[in-house]
Amino acid sequence: MVPVPARERVRYHRPVPRCSILTLIAFASACSDDAVDPCAGVVCAPGRVCVAGRCLQPDSGKGDRGVDLPVDGAAPGDAADARADLGGDGAVELGVDAAADVATPDLPAPDGPTAEPCAAPAVAQHTVNATMVFCWDPVNSYNQCQASLLCAAGWHLCTPPEYRAVFAAAAPPEVMAWISGCVRNGGAPHAPTNTPCTCSPELGALAFVAWVCGSGGGLTGAPLYLGVATTVNCFRVGQNDPAYQAFWGPATAAQLSRRSVCCRD
């Protein structure tokens, strides 16, 4: 592998993700930064382009896995390839030529709607078991009211009981993945429901909304609409009751995330 020249590594920085104070507390500074552009701040050498945070050479011809870009002096066929790969949105696609050159065998049709748990463009980021999958959308972000859109037909946003059955005593593989639960919906905090909250950023009076498992230390929050999302720490949410503790935490329902926990119908 050819090392990246030093001049391509200078001035690289990763923007700090913006999170609410409540998120920083409840999610142990592990708030989602999915929206960060991986090429932000990357300076590539002349003749190279940044793709997914890496400096790559332009495509030298058909059949390889380089990046197709229209360059001066390219043969007409290559330039046409490049324009097709760039598409109307200007996104660079990798491996398009290679995929076109390889014959794809016929595969049997999926058996029922549960074969694919995540709705495109979302993909399965973590398969917990046969009935629970963490879905991740590399393109769009969703508030809690929209989070079920990541789940394909035959799947739904997991409810608190479904989530607790797996992660009541163990940390999940991802943080800030939406669950279909609400612990404050405009009034006083309450036990988690099985439905999302109203997705409003409105603030109100401070109230205790979560308690650290074991120690019982409470966390207060002013958002009036608090849904439930995955965390790396164990909390009792809505009420200080062991029946409502798991590796989850309250999150403003209007907050955006690219992840949802989907369960099979």
Which of 215, 207, 200 minimizes the C-alpha distance to 253? Answer: 200
User: For the chain, how far is it from start to end, CA to CA, in angstroms?
Assistant: 46
What would the mean pLDDT of 37-43 be, rounded to a whole number? 53
pLDDT at site 50: 56
The domain defined by 113-264 folds into: Mannose-Binding Protein A; Chain A (3.10.100)
Domain spans of the chain, in order of start: 113-264
pLDDT value at 43 more than 50 = yes
pLDDT value at 180 more than 80 = yes
Question: Look-up: residue for tokens 């999150």?
Answer: 251
pLDDT at site 100: 31
- The contacts of residue 175 (CB under 8 Å, 6+ apart) are 27, 30, 31, 32, 229, 230, 231, 232
Positive or negative, the CA dihedral 249, 251, 257, 263 is positive
**Token pair of 218, please?**
């409470």
Question: Look-up: residue for tokens 């909390």?
Answer: 235
| Confidence label for 185 from pLDDT (cuts 50, 70 and 90) | very high
Q: What angle do CA 225, 251, 202 make, to 5 degrees?
A: 30
- What backbone phi and psi angles, to 5 degrees, belong to 97? -65, -45
**Token pair of 182, please?**
């609400």
Reduced to 3 states (helix: H, G, I; strand: E, B; else coil), residue 123 is strand
**In the chain, what percentage of residues exceed pLDDT 90?**
55
Q: CA–CA distance from 159 to each of 178, 260, 261 (Å)?
A: 10, 11, 9
Q: Which residue has the higher pLDDT, 183 or 73?
A: 183
pLDDT at site 5: 44
- The contacts of residue 52 (CB under 8 Å, 6+ apart) are 38, 39
| Confidence label for 82 from pLDDT (cuts 50, 70 and 90) | very low
Q: Do the Cβ atoms of 262 and 132 come closer than 8 Å?
A: yes
**In the chain, what percentage of residues exceed pLDDT 70?**
57
| Confidence label for 217 from pLDDT (cuts 50, 70 and 90) | confident
